[in-house]
Amino acid sequence: MNTFYTLCFLLVSQLFYAQQSDIDFGKYKDGERWQITNDGVMGGLSQGDVRFTDNGVVFSGMISLENNGGFSSYRSQYAKRDLSSYKKIIIRYRSKNYAMGFTLEMDKRWYVPYYKADLPTTDWKWEEKEIKFSDFVRYNIGRKRSGKPTQEELANILRIGFISNEKKAGPFKIEIDYIKFE
């Protein structure tokens, strides 16, 4: 009987996590279940690491262009999120050395188009960046394409995350406090 209750608890907690709107990396450590994906999946040599602080989560590392590399990312688990009732995202962060991007993915396949918005470097000063969904740009296999997120796509977001946004070798560092959906 204990196994049944444990499975029910895990299922309910997974459903809660998938439907949760705001994400607070500092207060609630919401990013503990997120994953790092580097260009090593395609032969690259870039490295990324995550550590939690009192204020948020620090995602940092080194981008390498060797072996056709060039990215490191920190992304949520796959779980359906309906963002269609929101107009914008607010991210409180600070960064240095490297511009980052915030991504919205609708499919598990890497070659299917996704959307990205820019998060410019802040010289390690806290900023709150407001991004309207109409500001997101469509990408496919790392190349900019035409198109903005539709309501149907926003209703079917499978994963969100942060990715290095410049194709240059060097260190990157970003600390994220929270993501709010309004």
Structural domains of the chain, count: 1
Tell whether 104 is covered by a domain: yes
- This prediction has a pTM of 0.86
List Cα–Cα distances, 20 to 56, 74, 84, 141, in angstroms. Answer: 18, 18, 14, 29
Tell whether 140 is covered by a domain: yes
Q: Residue 71 maps to which CATH number?
A: 2.60.120.430
Mean pLDDT of 50-73: 94
pLDDT at res. 27: 84
pLDDT tens by residue, 89-124? 999 999 998 999 999 999 999 889 999 999 999 999
Tell whether 14 is covered by a domain: no
pLDDT at res. 8: 45
> Which residue type occupies 83?
L
Tell whether 103 is covered by a domain: yes
> Does the pLDDT value for residue 13 go beyond 80?
no
CA 10 – CA 62 distance, rounded (Å) = 35
Give the range of the structural domain holding residue 159, as residue numbers without chain letter.
22-181
pLDDT tens by residue, 126-137? 999 999 999 999
First to last CA, the chain: 41
